[in-house]
A and B are shown apart, each in its own frame.
Chain A
Amino acid sequence: MFSAIMFYIYSAILLTSAGMVVCSKNLVHALLFLILCFVNVACLFILIGAEFLAFILIIIYAGAIAILFLFVIMMLDIGFKKQLKKEWKTYLPMAIVVCLVLLVELIMTDISFDPGTFIAEGAVSAESQVSNTHAMGQVLYTKYFLPFQVCGLILLTAMIGAIVLNLRERKQRKMQSPMEQTNVSVSDVIRITSVISKNGVQL
């Protein structure tokens, strides 16, 4: 009974905050609600006993991806409210089309989805004594070794791509090289001369 009550509480918060992500006028507030969504999904995962997935979800989505979004949104000073008032009519048909497509897709998946075959194939039986994390590792590194590695390679490619796109040499930039700084010897920077009276020093 307890977990059922908790399930409904978390789901209610999840759905409300998902709605608020779309509805709130301030983009930063929208992102706050998105983070609340992630945390609630993690709570739902914990309720069904998938603690590894729950914490990974918080670490990756709330801890990394949402922060990157926030960085971008906070730095941009977009007059979102004014723009929304002016242009919402132009975007409305497009939005309706997108929503309809998503709705149809959801309904189609729901009709064709058969949980029996889906779960029985990959999952480790609930009775086994190994912990969640061990079970996942055992499956990932044996049965799904190749897809797992390919996923890694795809992510690596994307990462390298992002770096290459952003890498440019700035010619005007003044840089310090710690190597050069520490390798300077006294004779390079100091000249000791004996000063002759009334002649000064030749620079």
Chain B
Amino acid sequence: MEFFYEYLWPLIWIAIKIGLIVAPLMGAVAYLTYAERKVLAAMQLRKGPNVVGPFGVLQPVADGIKLLGKEMILPAEADKIIFVGAPIFAFFISLIAWAVIPFGDGLVLADINVGLLYLIAVSSLCVYGILFAGWSSNSKYPFLSSLRAVAQLISYELVIGVVFVCVILFAGSLNLSEIVKSQEDGWFAFTLLFPIFIIYIIAVLAETNRHPFDLPEGESEIVAGFHTEYSSMAFAMFFLSEYANMILLSSIAVLLFLGGWLSPIPALDFIPGIIWFFVKVALFLFIFLWVRATLPRYRYDQLMSIGWKVLLPISFLWVVVVSAYVTFGV
């Protein structure tokens, strides 16, 4: 009995909490695809999905069932274990980052001291799913595009890392809950960190392979990118992890710059923090869709030169500015 209370019950309790995070996340991913199609349709004066269910709200369910029902094809010369493992790994990595995200005051699975560092570590592992998917397919388009995707990801990860350094300097902590609490006097997006916030938005677009930086799956050049050879559930896993990453990076933006679960004005404090958090994340996700409907795709060399020659120097300069501000308190 002691064994049960000491070891087993905490384990079960953690499993329940993980379930409570993952299940709504998958629902959110499904309805993000629906929202994306509806928003794009509205911006292009179309109707969007409107057949399955009222206003087409059951469309994601139908899509999911369709993907589950398809056959999974293994290319003849593929490295089978890695080929199957890559999407599972990508999916797994996109879920474990959620462990440190605080949804409200104290509503967090693991309130660790180095939360931000953990997020950088997880996002640096993200690359492997793509790289191994491209390599193990043993086909030239996936391989080329996975190299391209990885080069893009690691250059923009650097930018995001420097952005995080600025926020850490400003907040004085690596713990995400602490960072949110230090924004009670004013959200970081409306302070000295405003340029950094803009850089973060641009870098996030590149980091999640979204328009206008969706070169890893630029269908006009390299078929469908690194998941050309994938079908059925394996493809669905890449798809899910991509959208889960979008939601993750939006939540990080909300936590770091937009005050997390804090309400914008004190008069609205009666609304629970978790609702504020979700509303802000939804608004930030809307930026992704808005940009997708608006901007044309960049060329690859332009993408790299923006990352290395514009965003990185500016954010490094801002590290100096922010640390001077923090030290001397102008």
Q: Which residues from chain A sit less than 8 Å from chain B, CB to CB?
A: 2, 26, 28, 32, 35, 42, 51-52, 55-56, 58-59, 62-64, 67, 70-71, 74-75, 131-133
- Chain B residue with the shortest CB-CB distance to A75: B147
**Chain B interface residue count, Cβ-Cβ cutoff 8 angstroms:** 23
For the complex, what is the distance from the CA of A28 to the CA of B138, rounded to whole Å? Answer: 13
User: Do A64 and B124 form a contact, CB below 8 Å, given A2-B7, A52-B114, A132-B113?
Assistant: yes
Does B205 belong to the interface (CB within 8 Å)? no
9 A/B residue pairs, CB under 8 Å, sorted by A: A51-B114, A51-B117, A52-B117, A64-B124, A74-B147, A75-B147, A131-B113, A132-B113, A133-B174
Does B304 belong to the interface (CB within 8 Å)? no
Given contacts A51-B114, A59-B120, 6 further A-B contacts (CB under 8 A): A58-B121, A58-B125, A63-B120, A63-B125, A63-B127, A132-B114
Does B131 belong to the interface (CB within 8 Å)? yes
* A56 partner residues in chain B, CB cutoff 8 A: 117
A interface SS class: helix
* A32 partner residues in chain B, CB cutoff 8 A: 82, 132
- Chain A residue with the shortest CB-CB distance to B112: A51
For the complex, what is the distance from the CA of A52 to the CA of B117, rounded to whole Å? Answer: 8
* B174 partner residues in chain A, CB cutoff 8 A: 131, 133
Residues 102-138 of B at the A interface (beta carbon under 8 Å): 112-114, 117-118, 120-121, 124-125, 127-128, 131-132, 135
- Chain B residue with the shortest CB-CB distance to A63: B124
For the complex, what is the distance from the CA of A153 to the CA of B144, rounded to whole Å? Answer: 35
Contact of B120 among A35, A55, A67 (CB under 8 A): A55
B202 to chain A, nearest CB (A): 17
* B124 partner residues in chain A, CB cutoff 8 A: 58-59, 62-64
A27 to chain B, nearest CB (A): 11
For the complex, what is the distance from the CA of A70 to the CA of B128, rounded to whole Å? Answer: 10
For the complex, what is the distance from the CA of A58 to the CA of B119, rounded to whole Å? Answer: 11
B110 to chain A, nearest CB (A): 11
What per-residue 1/0 map shows which CB atoms of B74-94 lie under 8 Å from chain A? 000001001000000000000
* A132 partner residues in chain B, CB cutoff 8 A: 113-114
For the complex, what is the distance from the CA of A52 to the CA of B118, rounded to whole Å? Answer: 9
Q: Are A67's CB and B121's CB within 8 A?
A: no
* B121 partner residues in chain A, CB cutoff 8 A: 42, 55, 58-59, 62-63
Does B150 belong to the interface (CB within 8 Å)? yes
For the complex, what is the distance from the CA of A87 to the CA of B132, rounded to whole Å? Answer: 29
For the complex, what is the distance from the CA of A63 to the CA of B150, rounded to whole Å? Answer: 11
Q: Are A62's CB and B112's CB within 8 A?
A: no
* B157 partner residues in chain A, CB cutoff 8 A: 63
- Chain B residue with the shortest CB-CB distance to A46: B112
Does B233 belong to the interface (CB within 8 Å)? no
Q: Are B114's CB and A55's CB within 8 A?
A: yes
Does B154 belong to the interface (CB within 8 Å)? yes
6 shortest interchain CB distances as A-B pairs: A63-B124, A58-B121, A55-B117, A55-B121, A131-B113, A59-B121
For the complex, what is the distance from the CA of A128 to the CA of B118, rounded to whole Å? Answer: 23
B119 to chain A, nearest CB (A): 9
For the complex, what is the distance from the CA of A74 to the CA of B143, rounded to whole Å? Answer: 9
A32 to chain B, nearest CB (A): 8
